[in-house]
Amino acid sequence: MLRKLILAAALIVAGTSAGAAATAAIATANVNLRAGPSTSYPAVTVVPAGMTIATYGCISGYSWCDIGFGPYRGWVAASYVQVIYRGSPVVLTAPVAPVVGITVVSFNRTYWDRHYRTYPWYGRWAAYPPYRGPHVTSAYRDVTCANGSCTAVRGANGYYGGATNQVRTCANGSCTATRNTVGPRGGTATRTRSCTAGQGCSATRNFGRW
C-alpha cells in the first residue's frame, strides 16, 4: 500500500496544474463520491477500494474531504481516505491532515456551480441539508425530551435567501423526520422519513415549483 501511495503521489504531482495543489491518497473501501460533505447529497460516482484519489482539502474538523477521482470531483468521508504519514499509510484524521499538507477548504454555491451544472440534480441546491459555511447566514438546533419522547429541531437560513428546517421525533421505538426547504426563488421541497424498529423505513419526497 505504501508503494502504491508513493506512485499515486508522483502521478498526481505530474498531472496537477499550478494553483490546484492536491495530496495523493487511496480509497480504503468502495465509497460514494458525494456532491457535498454529507450522505444526504447525491452520489456523483463510486470510488472503488484501492483507487488513487487526489485530496484538495477538507472541511473544518476534517470529517469530509474534497476529492478528485478521474474526471469527477466531490466529497468523501475522511475515514475512507488513506494517506502517507511519517512513512506509513494511515487513515486521514484531524491531527494527520495538516502534517501531510491538507488544509481546510469551503463547500459553497461556487463549488456547486463549478462542478455540477450538467447533473440532473444541479437545480436542487437548496433542497439538500445546510452546511455551515459561506452560504449559510444563520443556523439553529434544539432537542427536547419528555415522557419517553424526544424531538430535535434544526434549521438554517441561506445567504441566497433560501431556508431549511428539519424536525425529528422519536418515541416507542419509532422515529419520524420531516425536512422542509424553501429555495431562494420561492420553490419548496418536503421530505418525510419514518422508521420503526423491526419494520424498516419508508420515505417520501415532494417538490413544489422549483
Residue 33, SS3 per DSSP: strand
How far is Cα 16 from Cα 47, in angstroms, rounded to an integer?
20
pLDDT tens readout for residues 8-67: 444 444 444 434 578 999 999 999 999 999 888 999 999 999 999 999 999 888 999 999
2-107: in CATH 2.30.30.40: yes
* Residue with more model confidence, 74 or 202: 74
- pLDDT the model gives residue 191: 82
All 3 cell numbers of residue 69? Answer: 477521482
How far is Cα 108 from Cα 135, in angstroms, rounded to an integer?
6
**Band of the pLDDT at 172, cuts 50, 70, 90?**
confident
Nearest of 124, 123, 126, 168 to residue 149 by alpha carbon = 168
Nearest of 107, 178, 165, 110 to residue 139 by alpha carbon = 165
How far is Cα 96 from Cα 117, in angstroms, rounded to an integer?
33
Nearest of 56, 10, 55 to residue 28 by alpha carbon = 55
Q: Which helix (H) or strand (E) holds 12?
A: helix 2-15
All 3 cell numbers of residue 9? Answer: 503521489
**Domain map (residue ranges) of the chain:** 2-107, 128-207
All 3 cell numbers of residue 100? Answer: 501531510
- pLDDT the model gives residue 71: 94
How far is Cα 206 from Cα 83, in angstroms, rounded to an integer?
41
How far is Cα 64 from Cα 102, in angstroms, rounded to an integer?
12
How far is Cα 43 from Cα 52, in angstroms, rounded to an integer?
18
- Region of 124 on the Ramachandran plot (φ > 0 left; ψ -120 to 50 alpha; else beta): alpha
pLDDT tens readout for residues 72-86: 999 999 999 999 888
At 76, which amino acid appears?
Answer: V
The 10 Å Cβ neighbour count of residue 204 is: 10
Whether this prediction's pTM lies above 0.75 is answered by no
**Band of the pLDDT at 208, cuts 50, 70, 90?**
low
pLDDT tens readout for residues 83-142: 988 888 899 999 999 999 999 998 988 999 999 999 998 988 877 766 545 556 566 667
